[in-house]
Amino acid sequence: MKLIVLLLSLSTLVNAQNLLKDAIAFRLGASVNPRLLSENEAYRGIASNEFTSITAENHMKMMLVHPAADRFDFSKGDEIVAFASATGKRIHGHTLVWHNQVPQWMKDFKGDQKAWEDLLKHHIQTVVGHYRGKVAGWDVVNESFLDDGSLRSSLWADHIPDYIAKSLLWAHEADPNATLFYNDYGQDGHPKKMQAILNLVADLKSRQIPIHGIGLQMHINVDSKRTQIEEVITKSAQTGLAVHFSEVDVAVNPKNNPEFVYDEKASAAQMELYKFLFKSFQSIPMKQQYGITFWNISDKDSWLRGYFKRPKEYPLLFDENYAKKPAYTELTKSLNKLY
């Protein structure tokens, strides 16, 4: 009997070590779609078993959560939070302030600076307040800088001076315990953009504005230069803030070649870049490791296929049939060897 128990324990341990989430000491996340969580058993199973953190891909963004000036709709966001709570996962909030996915009524809004500030403050504090104590961290402001380092023109930048700092303050007032992030993409290869973000962080810290983390989206591809990615990670960690690889995928067909074949060579290149990303994240001081979050779960569900109309794109670790790719297995093995 003791031998059977021992063998079962060893079997359980082996199976656990085959899960990527168990090969790392930080949170492993994915963005999710509530409809797929409800309707797709394979999708829901992976979301339940493979991750320790969940982000709403779209259903906490302005357009969906605040469809009219006098109405908020938290129904789908609440479904995601309920799923995370039932399966013991952290919830990361995405995103409070962005130039995209803004409802039409906000685009049509007219008013002076104070009216605009009241509008944005009400939005932020209503959303954060609704999820207070449930959402661990927020991408408060998303994608405010262009590649040349200049501030992006947007409803918020055009009407509210210093809107990034004000948004962070308003979010902090609504939930003083939430970890607050500035989130952006494409810092690798765009040093002026990276420097603008570092300058922003330094300025906010000097004014004692509550900023706790930097979100590096990490929408990268097999042609991305590792030296540039490494520089971004190093400089971000040097701020002392938490670092989140917040929207990870590794594209294998970035030029949208209609004849592209996802063969062993492409799979191997993708696998090596995933290994690089995870090992680079592990080099960040542990207290600053907020986690790595994939942008959705399987190739079938990736935004790269829809938004960029790239049907022959395979950027994630689960294939169209929700099976683990060889890259998943090899990545997990390589990380297990570090323990």
Domains along the chain with CATH numbers? 25-336 (3.20.20.80)
Tell me the mean pLDDT in the region 89-102. 98
Residue 245's nearest CA partner among 279, 271, 211 is: 279
Average pLDDT, the chain: 94
What pTM value is reported for the model? 0.94
Choosing from 50, 57, 143, 313, the catalytic residue is 143
Query: Is 320 a residue of the active site?
Result: no
- For the segment 3-10, the average pLDDT, to the nearest whole number, is 36
The b-or-e profile of 243-275 (16+ CB within 10 A means b, else e) is bbbbbbbbbbbbeeeeebebeeeebebbbbbbb
**pLDDT tier at 337, thresholds 50, 70, 90:** low
- Residues 236-270: pLDDT tens digits? 999 999 999 999 999 999 999 999 999 999 999 99
**In the predicted model, is pLDDT for residue 138 greater than 90?**
yes
Which member of 247, 259, 313, 330 is catalytic?
247
Q: Confirm whether 143 is a catalytic residue.
A: yes
Going from the C-alpha of 198 to that of each of 160, 194, 239, the distances in angstroms are 21, 6, 8
- Residue 338's pLDDT band, with cuts at 50, 70 and 90, is low
